[in-house]
Amino acid sequence: MEKGALGVQMQLPLASAIEFYPSFDYYFVDGGTQLGWNADLKFRAAGAPLYLGGGLNLLTGNGDSDTGFNLIGGLETRYGETHPYVEVRGLFHNATSLQLLFGLNFTLY
């Protein structure tokens, strides 16, 4: 059973409203290790904090791997250098799960 996760991500602009959004998650699970690798695209609503997207996901751990896809949606402030966000992520694999994520994104120049 998952007890939480810790992750990192990047946002790489491809166009004014589209970003490549790779991320890595370390899941705190009972009796082992589970890692998540994501390669998503984010589509931002013009002038709003809303984004939607999706992409590929690979879950690995304890000698097993499972490839599936993600659907994401969230809100992220875009003011200053620190951007708080909240995101809902659906992982569609052999076992489907829904995650609620929150955190801070930092702009690096």
C-alpha dihedral, 73 to 78 to 83 to 85, nearest 10°? -20
The answer for residues whose C-beta is within 8 angstroms of residue 101's C-beta and 6 or more apart is 5, 7, 74, 85, 86, 87, 88, 89
The C-alpha atoms of residue 69 and residue 90 are separated, in whole angstroms, by 8
Indicate the number of domains in the chain. Answer: 1
Looking at residue 19, which CATH number applies to its domain?
A: 2.40.160.20
Q: What is the pTM of this model?
A: 0.85
State which residues form the domain around 33: 2-106
> Which pLDDT score is estimated for 108?
72
Q: Output the pLDDT for position 91.
A: 94
The predicted pLDDT at position 109 comes to 62
**Is the distance from CB of 23 to CB of 40 less than 8 angstroms?**
yes
Taking alpha carbons only, the member of 90, 106, 76, 103 closest to residue 36 is 90
User: From first to last of its 109 residues, what are the pLDDT tens digits of the chain?
Assistant: 567 889 999 999 999 899 999 999 999 988 888 999 999 999 998 888 999 999 999 999 888 899 999 999 999 987 878 889 999 999 999 889 999 999 988 877 6
Can you give the pLDDT at residue 65? 92
